[in-house]
Amino acid sequence: MTPALPDPRNANILVHVGGQLLPRDQAKVSVFDSSVQGGDAVWEGLRVYDGRVAELEAHLDRLLDSAKAMAFEGVPSRSQVERALFDTLEANSMFDGAHVRLTLTRGEKITSGMNPRLNQSGCCLIVLAEWKAPVYPGAGIRLISSAIRRNSPQCVDSKIHHNNLINNILAAIEANVAGVDSALMLDVNGFVSETNDTNVFLAKKGVLYTPHADSCLPGITRAMVIKLAREDGATVVEKNLSLTEVYSADEMFTTGTMGELTPVLEVDGRRIGEQAGELTGRMQALHGNFVRKNGTPIKSLK
């Protein structure tokens, strides 16, 4: 039996895989694909608002930089990726309220194994666009701190937005077991890094704080919030943050394309707020306004 979909409109979507637009049940990669053989892929999550793709250039920069750092060969050009993205959104008539998972794998191997020498036919681009509301409840979420650390640049550099998500998945499992919404991950020195799928901000006495992007993903929503807050006259400080600073924060919120800005109400049983704080609400409003007005129009390439 087919399980119920979170959004039933996604039953009949068309997915772009390796140059073809295919119905969801036929949209597949080979068992020889590098993503199957070693999680050897890079990805982006993008959102569509009012006929525009938010922060498209920043997402393409991060995708292509990640592919370059991973020494992928046969990488599609920026305009080919853009074209595949716009074709997919247009084929699905998705012009608002959609989320796109854009994945670039190292492509098919000639036999199973991990060595990139076994890749001889270039990358495989997947554009999976779905109807998707922000994934976290707008009213706020509860976190636990995870025993699993985020990788430092000594292990796997978080500036590569890659598909090896096992440590984040293990952290998400801890959150599930604890009955909360998500897991707060520390870096190898014990400082706060990010949640398993979002960046984090604290507010204390009117100032916003966020960890350095050393072990966390340099999130595009994170960068947007820093810029919008500073333009709005707020002070934003990037610094090492300990769990004590989290527990004693006046406000906390997460940022990410998938969940936008989500208030954090509790961490490890310590109450941070009963509802979204004032600065959080202000940043949510500025972000909502910005993404609706500033994206790349979907039909711009036609």
Query: Site residues (CB under 6 A) for ligand PLP?
Result: 45, 168, 194, 197-199, 217, 219-222, 255-257
Sign for the pseudo-dihedral over CA of 255, 260, 264, 268: negative
CB of 259 to ligand PLP, least distance (A): 8
CB of 23 to ligand PLP, least distance (A): 26
Nearer to ligand PLP, 192 or 217 (CB): 217
Helix axes 56-69, 220-231, angle to 10 degrees: 140
Q: Which is nearer to ligand PLP, 194 or 214 (CB)?
A: 194
For ligand PLP, the closer CB: 14 or 224: 224
Closest listed residue to residue 21, CA positions, set 129, 139, 119: 129
In the bound state with ligand PLP, the residue whose beta carbon lies nearer, of 30 and 167, is 167
CB of 148 to ligand PLP, least distance (A): 12
State the angle between helix axes of 278-294 and 220-231 in degrees (0 to 180), rounded to the nearest 10: 110
Closest contact distance (angstroms) between CB of 284 and ligand PLP is 14
Query: In the bound complex, what is the minimum distance in angstroms from residue 165's beta carbon to ligand PLP?
Result: 7
User: Which conformational region is residue 18 in: left (phi greater than 0), alpha (psi within -120 to 50 degrees), or beta?
Assistant: left
Evaluate the CA torsion angle 43, 46, 51, 57 in order and state its sign.
negative
Given the DSSP bridges, would you call strands 251-256 and 236-238 parallel, antiparallel or unpaired?
unpaired
Rounded (to 5) percent helix, strand, coil in the chain? 30, 30, 40
| Shortest distance in whole angstroms from residue 6 CB to ligand PLP | 18
Nearer to ligand PLP, 219 or 263 (CB): 219
Nearer to ligand PLP, 47 or 142 (CB): 47
Task: Centre a 10 Å sphere on the Cβ of residue 77 and count the other Cβ atoms it contains.
Answer: 9
